[in-house]
């Protein structure tokens, strides 16, 4: 099992996966990347459901109203 900080660094996992040549290690990196992105997505969904906006929305405009 990996730690949360490592899972949160999805960009680094992408870089490592892009350079990996061993199929087994690549598979393991892709699994870790998938978990990291799922965690990130859940966090973003929770922020949206908490206040109806995303951090990327300008001036707090609800992203669903676009």
For all residues of the chain together, what is the average pLDDT? 77
- Per-position DSSP letters for 2-66, written without gaps between them: --HHHHH-HHHHHHHHHH---HHHHHHHHHHHHHHHHHHHHHHHHHHHHHS--TTSGGG--GGG-
**Residue 23's pLDDT is what?**
97
Q: How confident is the model at residue 1 (pLDDT cuts 50, 70, 90)?
A: very low
43 or 62, which is more confident: 43
Q: Which residues of 48-60 are buried (b: 16+ CB within 10 A; e: fewer)?
A: beeeebeeeeeee
43 or 66, which is more confident: 43
């Amino acid at each position: 099992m990996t730690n949360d900080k490592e899972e949160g660094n999805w960009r680094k996992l992408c870089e490592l996966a892009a350079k990996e040549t061993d199929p087994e290690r690549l598979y393991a990196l892709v699994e870790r990347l998938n978990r990291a992105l799922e965690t990130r997505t859940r966090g973003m969904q929770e922020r949206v459901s908490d206040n109806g906006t995303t951090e990327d929305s300008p001036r707090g405009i609800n992203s669903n109203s676009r």
